[in-house]
Amino acid sequence: MKIVYVEWIDAASTKGWNSKESVKGTMPIRSVGFLVESTKGVITLSTSQSEDTDFMDPLSIPRSTITKYKILKTVGV
């Protein structure tokens, strides 16, 4: 099982009325987690993994939004 670091660009939104200057179109995000799956279009991370390999709160990130990807560690499960 690999632990990875990912920098990616996410959509951003705000509530209520906002000035044009305060509206952001995108937001840079940094995520760290267990690599659950890696496909041509998406990587999926999880914050936690149980002994029977179930995953908590998986996050799927489209590869087209990833700006940096690094394997931090490989651990045995």
Q: What is the pLDDT of residue 56?
A: 92
Q: What is the pLDDT of residue 1?
A: 85
pLDDT in tens, 40-55: 999 999 999 888 779 9
Total domains present in the chain: 1
Q: Residue 24 — very low, low, confident or very high, per pLDDT cuts 50/70/90?
A: confident
Lowest mean pLDDT among 2-6, 24-28, 33-37: 24-28
State the Cα–Cα distance between residues 50 and 52, nearest whole angstrom: 5
pLDDT in tens, 53-68: 799 999 999 999 999 9
Tell me the three-class secondary structure of 51-65, residue by residue.
CCCCEECCEEEEHHH
- For residue 37, the enclosing domain spans 2-74
